[in-house]
């Protein structure tokens, strides 16, 4: 009996993958700056760069149906 439940659970897990997507890894580089605010130059005369790898997630789109439980859009608190 346990084997049947295990196989059924395994089949459902394979058939319906998780709802979230993998994050893409993106490398972001910017010029290195010294303490006095001037760009750091390497031996070849080009500005030295500091690079970091970050994860980029795709934002989910919000769909509203107009029901009272739907989230309301943010209103501007600034006066014109």
C-alpha span between 23 and 54 (Å, rounded): 9
Residue 34, in any domain of the structure: yes
| The token pair that represents 51 in the structure block | 């690079």
pLDDT digits (tens, 9 = 90+) for 1-14: 778 888 887 777 77
Residue 10, in any domain of the structure: no
C-alpha span between 50 and 45 (Å, rounded): 16
Residue 3, in any domain of the structure: no
pLDDT at 5: 84
Whether 42 has a pLDDT exceeding 70, the answer reads: yes
Mean pLDDT computed over every residue of the chain: 76
Number of domains in the chain: 1
Backbone phi, then psi, for 2, in 5-degree steps?
Answer: -65, -35
pTM: 0.39
Residue 69, in any domain of the structure: no
11 or 63: which leads in pLDDT: 11
Residue 14, in any domain of the structure: no
Residue 79, in any domain of the structure: no
Residue 52, in any domain of the structure: yes
The boundaries of the domain holding residue 46 are 19-61
């Amino acid at each position: 009996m346990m084997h049947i439940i295990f196989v059924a659970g395994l089949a459902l897990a394979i058939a319906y993958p998780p709802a979230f997507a993998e994050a893409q890894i993106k490398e972001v580089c910017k010029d290195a700056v010294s303490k006095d605010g001037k760009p750091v130059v390497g031996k070849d005369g080009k500005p030295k760069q500091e690079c970091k790898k970050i994860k980029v997630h795709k934002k989910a789109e919000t769909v509203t149906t107009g029901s009272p439980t739907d989230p309301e859009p943010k209103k501007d608190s600034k006066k014109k």
